[in-house]
Amino acid sequence: MTACKNEAPGTSSAQDDYSDLRSELPNSCTTTDEEILNSYERDQASWANSGRPAALVRPTTVAEIQQAVQVCYERSIPVVTRGAGTGLAGGANALDGCVIISTERMNRIVEINPLERLAVVEPGVVNNDLTHACAAEGLWYPPDPASAEWSTIGGNVATNAGGLCCVKYGVTRDYVLSLQVVTGTGDLVTLGRRTAKGVAGYDLVGLMTGSEGTLGVITEVTLRLRPQQQPQTTVVGYFSSMVDAANAVRAIAESGITPSALELMDQNCLKAIDRWRSMGLSDEAHTILLARTDAEGAAADAEAGEILSCFRTNGSTWAAQSTDQGEADALFSARRLAYPAVERLGNVLTEDVCVPKSQLPRMLDAVESIAAANDTLIATIAHAGDGNLHPLIVTTPGDTGQETRARRAFDQIMAVAIRLGGTITGEHGVGTLKAPGLEHELSTAVMAMHKKIKQALDPRSIMNPGKVLTP
C-alpha cells in the first residue's frame, strides 16, 4: 500500500483561513489541492447541501487518523469521515472549512478466522471484496447493499447498511462484534469483543453502528461470519398493482416463511430498466416481486411452493418457480440496476422509509396517491420482505416547480410512514436530508437523550456536525 504524495495547497478563502492547518496534519497523506477537494465534497445524495473542505486526509494508519482528529479537536475544526461516497442521505457531505478523513486507503483484510467465524477488516475494505475473501474460506458475510461493489465496510457500519439478504439475515449491526474507534476527543478505544457472547457494559458497538460519523472515526471492524449460503431457489410474480404485491408479501409473512430475499419493483422502475437495457419487463407487469429461498432439499421446494401460492392467491397475473438459474440471476441483476436506471431519467431524491409488513399495502398505496397529488414521477423499489421502501422521486434538472413538488412528496412519504408505525429511514441513514424528519419520529425526551450522548462523546461537536441531529 502506498501513502499519498504531497500536493500543492489550494487558494480558496476557506484554506486561507486555515493557512497553517496542513502543517499540523499528517503530512504524507494530506492535500489541499482544489481539484482533488472538489471530488470529495459530497456523496450520492444530489439534493443534500455540501460545503468547501479546508483539507483532505487519506490515511493509511490509525496513528494518522488519530493525529488528524487531535488537531481538529484542539482547533474545534469539523471532521467529516468518508468511505466510498456511496451514501444517499448527505451524511458524508463536506462542511465549509472541515477536514475530510477518507478511509479509502485503509483497505486491508486483517484476518479471516474460520474457527471463530469472524473477520477483522480496516474500514476501507469494499463489501464485495470481503464477501469474495470469505467465500474462499467457505464463509459468508450477509449484509449486501445495492452498492456492495463499491461501498466500504466502514461506511456500511456508519449507516447500519442493509440489502437484499437482510429480510432473513439481518443488517450490519447484527454482524459487528467489535470496533476500534478514534473518538471526538482524539482518544483511540476498542469497543465490543471477539467472543460469541458478551454483556460486559453498555452496548457501545451498537451505539456506534449507524451513528454516521457523528460520534467517532471507525478504524477497524471485527465482523461475525456465517457458513456459506446454500443455493437459492427463485420465485417470480407479476402483479397489476403494488397493493396486490404488498398483500402477497403480507401473506408470505403470515405463512411463517422467511424468504432469503423478497424484492419489489414497480412499473416506473421496470420502464426505466427497459429504456436502458431493453429487458421487456414493463411489457408484462405493473409490479414484480422477486422471491428467493435458501432452504435445503425438500424444504426448498416446499417454501417455493408456499411463496408461489401466496402470489397466486393475492392477484398475481403470472407467477412461476424459476428453473433457469441464468434467468433468475438476470432478474435479480435487474433489481440491482433499478436505481442507476432511474437516475438516468433525471435528478433523484431517494426515500428510505420502513413500515411493519402489515402496513405495507397501505404504505405503497399512499406512495402512489402522493405521486398523483403532487404530479410527480415516483419509481418505487423495495426490500418488500422487511417493509423497507425506496420511492425514487424524479425531477427534470432546472425545473423549480417539480423540485418544490418533489420535496413536498418526500416529506409526505415520511409522515405517512411514521403514522403507520414505521420509520423515516431503514438503511440509508439520516444524514442531512432526513434530520428534520427525525424530530417528527422521535419524542422530545428521546431527542434530548441523543443530544446528551453526542455531547458526552463529542464535547466540541466536531464529528460530522449538523448530520443526524440538527443544531
pLDDT digits (tens, 9 = 90+) for 284-336: 899 999 999 999 999 999 999 999 999 999 999 999 999 898 989 999 999 98
Residue 5 carries which side chain, given as an amino acid letter? K
Backbone phi and psi for residue 385, each to the nearest 5 degrees, phi listed first: -65, -25
CA–CA gap between residue 338 and residue 393 (Å, rounded): 13
Q: Within 10 A of 358 (CB to CB), how many other CB atoms are there?
A: 13
Query: Could you tell me which CATH class the domain 346-462 is placed in?
Result: alpha beta
Mean pLDDT of 370-375: 98
User: Chain centroid to CA 131: how far?
Assistant: 17
User: DSSP code of 201?
Assistant: S
Confidence of residue 18 (pLDDT cuts 50, 70, 90): low
Q: What integer best gives the mean pLDDT of the chain?
A: 94
| Cα 470 from Cα 462, distance rounded (Å) | 14
Strands (E), 85-137: 99-102, 109-113, 118-121
pLDDT digits (tens, 9 = 90+) for 407-449: 999 999 999 999 999 999 999 999 999 999 999 999 999 999 9
Nearest Cα residue to 100 out of 144, 133, 54: 54
State which amino acid sits at residue 395.
T
CA-CA-CA-CA torsion sign (295, 301, 306, 308)? positive
Q: State the pLDDT at residue 470.
A: 81
Q: Please give the Cα distance from 353 to 424 (Å, whole number).
A: 5
Query: Residue 46: pLDDT band by 50, 70, 90 thresholds?
Result: confident
Quote the pLDDT of residue 471: 75
pLDDT at 2 exceeding the cut of 90:
no
pLDDT tops 60 at residue 15: no
Residue 12 has pLDDT above 50, yes or no: no
Q: Which amino acid appears at position 458 of this protein?
A: D
Residue tagged 404530479 (cell numbers): 375
Domains 13-102 and 109-227 share a fold: no
What's residue 254's pLDDT?
A: 97
User: Contact 11/42 with Cβ under 8 angstroms?
Assistant: no
Per-residue confidence (pLDDT) for residue 290, from 0 to 100: 97
Architecture, CATH, for domain 13-102: 2-Layer Sandwich (3.30)
C-alpha cell at 431: 444524514
Task: Give the SS3 label for residue 400.
Answer: helix
Section 17-32 average pLDDT: 86
Distances (CA, A) of 127 to 55, 88, 123, 177, 293: 27, 17, 10, 17, 23
Q: pTM (2 decimals)?
A: 0.93
Q: How confident is the model at residue 4 (pLDDT cuts 50, 70, 90)?
A: very low
Determine the Cα–Cα distance for residues 37 and 32; give it in Å rounded to an integer: 7
Give the C-alpha separation, 272 to 27, whole Å: 46
Other Cβ atoms closer than 10 A to 81: 28
What CATH architecture does domain 230-336 belong to? 2-Layer Sandwich (3.30)
pLDDT of residue 197: 93
Q: How far apart are CA 453 and CA 442, in angstroms?
A: 15
Tens of pLDDT, residue by residue over 203-257, are: 999 999 999 999 999 999 999 999 999 999 999 999 999 999 999 999 999 999 9
The domains of the chain are located at 13-102, 109-227, 230-336, 346-462
Half-sphere CA count of 82, side-chain side, radius 13 A: 28
> What would the mean pLDDT of 151-163 be, rounded to a whole number?
97
- With a pLDDT cut of 90, the percent of the chain lying above it is 91
Residues 346, 397 contacting (CB under 8 angstroms): yes
**For domain 109-227, which CATH number applies: 3.40.50.970, 3.20.20.60, 3.30.465.10, 3.30.360.10?**
3.30.465.10
Handedness of CA 62, 65, 70, 73 (dihedral sign): negative
Minimal CA–CA distance to 292: which of 276, 307, 278? 307
Compute the half-sphere exposure of residue 106: CA atoms within 13 Å on the CB side of its CA. Answer: 28
Q: In this structure, what C-alpha cell is assigned to residue 400?
A: 423549480
Q: How far apart are CA 299 and CA 82, in angstroms?
A: 43
Phi, psi of 13 (to 5 degrees): -60, -35
CA distances in angstroms from 199 to 169, 189, 203, listed in the order given: 22, 18, 8
- 3-state class (DSSP) for residue 44: coil
How distant, in Å, are the alpha carbons of 15, 73, 181, 362, 432 from that of 59?
Answer: 20, 17, 14, 47, 26
- Give me the phi and psi of 23, to 5 degrees please: -65, -20
Rounded to 5°, the CA angle 340-344-347 comes to 100
Q: Are 208 and 181 in contact (CB under 8 A)?
A: yes
What 202-208 contacts at long range (C-beta under 8 Å, 24+ apart), as own/partner pairs, is: 205/176, 205/177, 205/178, 205/179, 206/173, 206/176, 207/453, 208/157, 208/179, 208/181
Does position 96 have pLDDT exceeding 50, yes or no?
yes
Rounded-to-integer distance, Cα 413 and Cα 391, Å: 9
The owner of cell 399512499 is 366
